[in-house]
């Protein structure tokens, strides 16, 4: 009974204070929640993450070990108030391992381990594997009227994807080892052509026939499936994000392309890379694939 009377007195006191506050012109409001701390973000990989296709369309001459273009999807993600870019180590022309002149992905990871990549890293994104699969060779062989050679090259690429898968698995494991608490977003590649638009013709000459467009798209699909499988079998918390649906209707030969193709400059570095709209699409897909508010600081 005593407890009951005590509760009634507390209730009455609280009500009296509330009325007094209103009379004096005060309002009672909950304390403002502190804004969420931006997540620490690191980017790795090849030309798609290095921003090729945004800004400058041609690389420097002579070539440098790590060329990047401003305005790529990483910069767009960094512009979000919810994200702080710690480092973008991606390089145009980067293979997974020590091939070519560009800084390979394995070296990117090794150089950032213990610094940008650590237990405090919240978010990592990566595009990698296309060059290792043979994308450059395929595009060179298939951007011609020669369908037979294109078919042989694509078949060889698909047959070799098992080796690429193993290298990708090791890559994701290395990232997770260096940044054990990070969400690792592995982005795929878009289909490059829309065969429904017909042959690509320049000056009355067929440059890329429909048959070759279909073959290249099949190679891209096979590569994306390989990347997804490598993510699933890597034993890490990495997630694969497919971008093909987002790019539907925006191939190089579409009415509104999100991928660069300048047929007057067939060797242009930016060819077959996202343009500004394409990089915006990558940023949108990436941000929608992770819940930034759940990437709490540890």
Catalytic residues: 47, 273
Tell me whether strands 205-208 and 200-202 are parallel, antiparallel or unpaired. antiparallel
Q: How far apart are CA 185 and CA 204, in angstroms?
A: 43
Which of 226-246 are b and which e, b meaning 16 or more Cβ less than 10 Å from the residue's Cβ?
bbbbbbeebebebebbbbeeb
Which tokens belong to 232? 């699933």
Which tokens belong to 47? 């030309």
> How big is the CA angle at 140 (ends 136 and 143), to the nearest 5 degrees?
130
Which tokens belong to 182? 């990070």
> Any idea what DSSP says for residue 247?
T
Residue 132, H or E segment: helix 130-133
Which tokens belong to 18? 């509330």
Q: Describe the chain by its helix, strand, coil percentages, rounded to 5.
A: 45, 10, 45
Residue count of the chain, please give it. 298
> How big is the CA angle at 80 (ends 79 and 81), to the nearest 5 degrees?
110
> Any idea what DSSP says for residue 89?
-
Which of 24-57 are b and which e, b meaning 16 or more Cβ less than 10 Å from the residue's Cβ?
eeeeeeeeeeeeeebbbbbbbbbbbbbbbbbebb
């Amino acid at each position: 009974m005593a407890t009951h009377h005590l509760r009634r007195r507390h209730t009455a006191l609280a009500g009296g204070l509330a009325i007094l506050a209103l009379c004096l012109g005060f309002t009672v409001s909950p304390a403002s929640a502190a804004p969420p701390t931006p997540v620490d973000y690191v980017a790795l990989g090849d030309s798609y993450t290095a921003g090729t296709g945004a800004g400058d369309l041609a690389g420097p001459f002579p070539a440098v070990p790590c060329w990047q273009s401003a305005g790529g999807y990483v910069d767009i993600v960094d512009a979000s108030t919810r994200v702080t870019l710690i480092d973008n180590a991606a390089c145009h022309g980067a293979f997974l391992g020590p091939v070519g002149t560009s800084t390979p992905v394995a070296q990117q990871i090794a150089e950032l381990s213990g610094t940008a990549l650590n237990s405090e890293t919240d978010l990592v994104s990566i595009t990698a594997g296309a060059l290792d699969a043979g994308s450059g060779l395929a595009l060179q062989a298939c951007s011609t009227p020669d369908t037979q050679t294109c078919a042989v090259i694509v078949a060889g690429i698909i047959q070799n994807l098992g080796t690429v898968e193993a290298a990708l698995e090791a890559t994701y494991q290395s990232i997770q080892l260096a940044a054990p608490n990070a969400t690792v977003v592995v982005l795929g590649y878009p289909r490059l052509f829309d065969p429904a638009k017909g042959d690509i013709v320049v000056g009355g000459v067929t440059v890329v026939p429909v048959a070759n467009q279909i073959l290249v798209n099949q190679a891209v699909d096979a590569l994306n499936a390989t990347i997804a499988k490598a993510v699933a079998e890597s034993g890490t918390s990495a997630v694969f994000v497919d971008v093909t649906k987002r790019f539907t209707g925006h191939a190089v030969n579409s009415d509104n392309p999100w991928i660069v193709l300048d047929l007057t400059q067939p060797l242009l570095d930016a060819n077959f890379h996202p343009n500004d709209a394409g990089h915006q699409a990558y940023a949108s897909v990436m941000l929608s694939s992770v819940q930034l508010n759940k990437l709490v600081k540890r």
